[in-house]
Structure 1
Amino acid sequence: MKTSNRVNNIHYSSTVALKHDVERRKARGENIIDLGLGEVKFGQPPEFTKALISVAKKGVNEYTYAGGTEEIRSVIAQANNSLFGGVYKNKIVQPRYDKEEIIHCTSAKLLISAAAYSVAEVNDDVIVLAPFWTPYIDALKFMGINPVIAKTRFENNFTPSQDILERSLTRKSKAILINSPNNPSGRVFTKKELEVVYNFAKKHDLLIISDEVYDTIIFGGHVHRSIASLSKEAAKRTVVIKGLSKGFGMGGLRFGYAMSKNEKIIGAMTRVISNTITAPPSLLQEAAEALFSKSVRHTLKVTKNYEKRANFTMKRFQEMKLLFAHVEGAIYIFPKVSPFFSKGIKNSRDFAARLVEETGIVIHGEPCGYDDHVRIALIQDIPVLKKAWDKLETFLQKYAKA
């Protein structure tokens, strides 16, 4: 029996594969420093633990509406409309949403696929703004949709331009997928940069799929501005994707949600969900209400720790003469490593493979659209990062081109 070409043409999720590799190395007794998977680890808010136990004792296990219960969608709307209880009053700019404009699903990844599937036929194209989270590509391919990369330039701080976007356009383009705060670069798009993307999408009648899962992890004076906030038209043209994996540090909960002023798109995405997972787990929906209503300050703890790690890392990397975009948000740094392609290292995958073999440092060697950069997740405490950067500095000295 043969497997389908559709499945044969996609890869095992690179992020999941990286986690498995880390687990295998640990099982073999290897002394590794894991900076690969973007998994936020700051414990579980006690309010959620208490709520989960309570809901489990109640025996909540029935089917719910495909897009989530009315209660969870109301709580999500309230949290976002209040900018998470006012905690992010000067850090996030976004529209207000009603519960009817929100759907919940098991993971933001499925919602991204559902949004694309809602406007693209098989063999249609979706533009992906680079640098990008690597699983975007196979998530689109799995739906029979062709990803077309719009590659911004490191030399221009990964700034989207009209020229770059126009070159990525085809007669089959149906949507554009963007991510800010950005995984892997750490960039937070400015209002001007978002206007370039929106004007392009409006000109060519494209849906904007905006992955904003890192919305609360923003540093210094930077502001996360949703592209949907630019105008009423922008809100109507945009699907915003968020979740609890990053800001709340609860990746294993698999809790994503989408928000849009476009009734047709929300309806279409809900039909996709109803015909794939049927509905998200009822137990987790009720328990998650406590996260949005009582545990918002937990996200501040996450953000403050990542900002300290980013600042420490950028200072060390500058001392090492590593080139990178200034980290403005999210949980990664994306250095350019081509100056160290020597002695058999030809690309980012080779670099990552050699690094783990010689130093025990695990990083993400998938290109994210650039085979001369590597993604490093700042998921360890500063003492561990210090040890990692000491090892990295010795490694770079060995492979620096003469």
Structure 2
Amino acid sequence: MKKGLSRRVRDLKPSPTLAVNAKAKALRAKGVDLVNLSAGEPDFDTPEFIKEAACKAIEEGFTRYTPVPGIPELREAIAQKIKAHYGLSYTPDSVLVTSGGKQAIFNAVAALVEEEDEVIILSPYWVSYPPIVEICGGRPVVVNTSEEKGFEPSLSAVAEAVSPRTKMIIINSPSNPTGVVLSPEFLKGVAHLALEHDFYILTDDIYDLIRFDGRAPFNVVSLEPKVMDRTLIVNGVSKTYAMTGWRLGWLVGPEELVKAASRIQSQSTSNACSISQKAALAALLGPQDSLKEMVKVFRRRRDLMVSLLLEIPEISCLVPMGSFYMFPNFSAYYGRQAGGQVIDGSLAMADYLLEEARVACVPGVAFGEDTCIRLSFATSEEEIEKGITRIKEALAKLS
């Protein structure tokens, strides 16, 4: 008898954010007048000097395998960037270049988590954290919070989630989907818990340069250097330099852990794209004007979206301090209906807004918080105005 798929594949769901974005693009390709507020990527073009560096690499024939952990000059540039942003000293041997930030997270979890190990995840969370933990045989332990508490869990709740099987906690600040920047006090508290209970920290800093709070980047290690030997830092060029399709991220941490993650990569994808590595090197070493301008534009768009959302009756929304997402609460409309369709949660709400308003957004249940919907302001002000106006009109039809 033919044997079937593995358990890990049978239980694995596709990424809901990528699925929504693909559906939105497919509808647009058919000529549907759709406003896409689901996108998890900047709508800006990759800066010209970065594209020129890639073209130069191609012209010079830099098209062969590189060392698995990345070309030395890029690893050095990443180490120097972390020194400049966080005041932390790493050698190039503590850097692994990956095919995007997602692979960096996967490699880190795979290198540390064994069967039945527990990984603490703060909700709302990025959709891929729990599945990655499960693929690696671990068990996600979700710590919930709420809009009323600013989507920052209490340290006591995190402490209660710690058990003898806790292997890691995953932190993402600024957050996808909320845009929340976790407070220094909370991060220091997490660091002390890690030291007390002997577990690792994975800090996903992919949005840390897209901030609106006026503060310089900081993370759990820069606030408490004692956890440097038990913390893995994930970042990349995708969000910061509008390079999502280039698939270039990195993992930084204790040399022993990074080398273990590199061994996993050597038996899966090998090196990240050689051309993308040269492009990322240019991004890190070149002028940062495009990044500063992008952040200014995102802030204007954020302010516009917040002001429009707060004009809708019964909608509440925290003002995001980073990333390019907003996570407004739509739950006041749950239980209502239009045309026989009952809105019983965020999934039904997202479907209704796509069909009725022609606005694509992502249901909050995908992030562990069913009361909310994730909206992206990585689109033009014109599209934001059109999209929120359509949402307001569609909600008014519910009774």
Q: Into which bin does the TM-score normalised by the smaller protein fall?
A: over 0.9
Match of 1:399 in 2: 398
**Secondary structure, aligned partner of 2:318:** coil
The answer on whether the counterparts of 1:33 and 1:388 sit within 8 Å (CA) in structure 2 is: yes
Match of 1:88 in 2: none
Q: Does 1:246 align with 2:236?
A: no
Determine the C-alpha separation between the residues in 1 that align with 2:281 and 2:346: 41
Determine the structure 2 residue equivalent to 1:90: none
Whether the aligned pair in 1 keeps the contact of 2:118 and 2:140 (CA below 8 Å) is yes
2:344 aligned with 1:352? no
How has the CA–CA distance of structure 1 residues 103 and 205 changed in structure 2, closer, same or farther, with 3 Å as cutoff? same
* Counterpart position of 2:282: 290
Q: Is the 8 A contact 1:111 1:258 kept in 2?
A: yes
Tell me, yes or no, if structure 1 residue 160 matches structure 2 residue 153. Answer: yes
Report sequence identity in percent: 27
Q: Quote how far apart the aligned CAs of 1:94 are.
A: 4.9
> Per-residue CA shift, 1:1-57, capped at 9, x if unaligned?
411111011111222212221122123322110011211121121111211111101
Give TM-score, length-normalised by structure 2.
0.93
Supply the distance in 1 between the matched residues of 2:344 and 2:229 (Cα, whole angstroms): 44
Deviations 1:224-247 (Å, cap 9, x if unpaired)? 311111232122221110011111
In the alignment, does 2:93 pair up with 1:105?
no
Structure-2 residue corresponding to 1:123: 116
Match of 1:82, SS? helix
Whole-Å separation in 2 of the counterparts to 1:4 and 1:333: 36
Distance 1:147 1:109 in 2: 17
1:315 is displaced (CA, Å) by: 1.6
Q: Is the contact between residue 103 and residue 266 of structure 1 (CA under 8 Å) also seen in structure 2?
A: yes
Q: Is the 8 A contact 1:104 1:255 kept in 2?
A: yes
Distance in structure 2 (CA, Å) of the matches to 1:376 and 1:58: 42
SS of the residue corresponding to residue 362 of structure 2 reads: coil
Match of 2:317, SS state, is coil
2:326 corresponds, among 326, 329, 333, to 333
| Matched ranges for 1:120-159 at <5 A | 120-159=113-152
CA shift at 1:108, angstroms? Answer: 0.8
Q: Is the 8 A contact 2:233 2:251 kept in 1?
A: yes
The residue type equivalent to 1:394 in the other structure is: E
Q: Distance in 2 between matches of 1:170 and 1:196?
A: 17
- 1:318 aligned residue: 310
Indicate the residue corresponding to 2:371 in structure 1. Answer: 372
Return the letter of the residue paired with 1:53.
C
Counterpart of 1:268 in structure 2 is 260
- Cα deviation, residue 114, structure 1: 1.4
Shift in Å at residue 130 of structure 1?
1.2
**Which AA in structure 1 matches 2:70?**
G
Q: Which residue of 1 aligns with 2:15?
A: 13
In the alignment, the residues of structure 1 paired with residue 269 and residue 290 of structure 2 have an alpha-carbon distance, to the nearest angstrom, of 29
| Contact 1:94 1:226 survives alignment (8 Å) | no
Distance 1:65 1:349 in 2: 44
Q: Which amino acid aligns with 2:249?
A: G
Please give the per-residue CA displacement for 1:170-213, whole angstroms capped at 9, x wherever unaligned.
Answer: 33220001100000111111211211221222222111000000
Specify the alignment match of 1:385 in structure 2: 384
Partner letter of residue 261 of structure 2? M
Q: Is contact 1:208–1:239 with CA below 8 Å preserved after alignment?
A: yes
CA distance in 1, matches of 2:221, 2:393: 45
Which residue identity is paired with 2:140? P
> Which amino acid is 1:381 matched to?
S
Whether the aligned pair in 2 keeps the contact of 1:188 and 1:224 (CA below 8 Å) is no
Runs ≥4 residues deviating over 3 A = none
Structure 1 unmatched ranges of 5 or more: 84-92
Structure 2 SS opposite 1:356: helix
Secondary structure, counterpart of 1:195 in structure 2: helix
Q: Distance in 2 between matches of 1:61 and 1:382?
A: 39
Mean Cα deviation higher: 142-151 or 171-180: 142-151
Q: Confirm whether residue 51 of structure 1 aligns to residue 65 of structure 2.
A: no
How far the C-alpha of 1:222 sits from its partner, in A, is 4.0
2 CA distance for matches of 1:18 and 1:123? 31
Alignment partners' CA distance in 2, 1:79 and 1:195: 22
Distance 1:276 1:135, change over 3 A: same
Deviations 1:348-386 (CA, angstroms, capped at 9, x unpaired) = 000000011111000011421111111111121111111
RMSD over aligned Cα atoms: 1.6
Return the alpha-carbon distance in structure 2 between the equivalents of residues 302 and 4 of structure 1. Answer: 43
Deviations along 1:76-117, whole A, 9 cap, x unmatched?
Answer: 22233234xxxxxxxxx4523322221111011111111112
**In structure 1, what is the Cα distance between the partners aligned to 2:127 and 2:119?**
15
Moved more, 366-375 or 221-230: 221-230
Give the drift of 1:270: 1.3
Structure 1 Cα separation of the partners of residues 364 and 318 of structure 2: 18
Cα distance in structure 2, aligned partners of 1:328 and 1:174: 29
Residue 190 of structure 1 aligns with which residue? 183
Do the aligned residues in 1 keep the contact of 2:99 with 2:249 (CA within 8 Å)? yes
CA 1:270–1:157 in structure 2 vs 1: closer, same or farther (change >3 Å)?
same
The partner residue of 1:279 within 271, 276, 297 is 271
Residues 168 and 398 of structure 1: CA distance in aligned 2, closer, same or farther (over 3 Å): farther
What amino acid maps onto 2:177 in structure 1?
Answer: P
Q: Distance in 2 between matches of 1:266 and 1:61?
A: 25
CA-CA distance at 1:145 after TM superposition: 1.9
| Other-structure match for 1:32 | 34
TM-score by length of 1: 0.93
